[in-house]
Amino acid sequence: MCYYVSNQLTRKEMKDAFGVAYEGPEFQGSDFTNGFSFPKTPVILDNRPDEAILGDWGLIPTWAKDRNLQKSTLNARIDTLPEKPSFRDSISSRCLVLVKGFYEWKWLDGKGKMKEKYYIQLNNGGQPFALGGIYNIWKDEETQETLTSFSIVTSNANELMSEIHNTKDRMPLVLAKEAEEAWLSERALEHFAFPNYNPDLIAVNLDAGSFQPTLF
């Protein structure tokens, strides 16, 4: 799955990496962002591809009465999107979630008491990249506040991520530059599921302190 990311992007980095303007409130992000705090994160929506806005991590479906569902909607499995009530109405509402990397832990024993922490990026020279997401516009009936909320879509893991995420065998939908427009244009979901789509990833073992472009 994907619950921890680096989303510390400047306006210039958003412009340089994605060709979009960001005119929203001052944003700093964090090098280690915890999804369970439901943080605001830069996203690009399919109907506003020329600008980045801040979305709330954890999709809130239109029918939700409050934000309690967010703890269960940080991620959305690409293979079950049409089946899940929280996600099925957002299949055609796609977004790019802008990050510099994400984190995962490899279990070294059967109970997870010993772990190694990895920082994973798209192999693109260290530039920011996009994770595939879905979103919804939700209105809080009590406060009348309107929120853009999103989930990061996940797929079965490729070889590298299977070695790292060895208890769940999942990975976020990491989009290479040429796949960003295809994701926003509603290309069929199966096109992006592994093994049909296999991003070129690199991983750093933060506990070992060694750079590993591959584990094999």
Q: Residue ranges per domain, the chain?
A: 4-102+130-158+171-201
**pLDDT tens, position by position, 109-147:** 887 788 999 999 999 999 999 999 999 999 988 889 999
CATH class of 4-102+130-158+171-201: alpha beta
> How far apart, in whole angstroms, are the C-alpha atoms of residue 166 and residue 187?
29
209 or 17, which is more confident? 17
CB-side exposure of 25: number of CA atoms within 13 Å?
A: 5
pLDDT exceeds 50 at position 216: no
pLDDT exceeds 70 at position 211: no
| Residue-averaged pLDDT of the chain | 93
> How far apart, in whole angstroms, are the C-alpha atoms of residue 45 and residue 52?
8
Strands 101-107 and 115-122, sheet pairing:
antiparallel
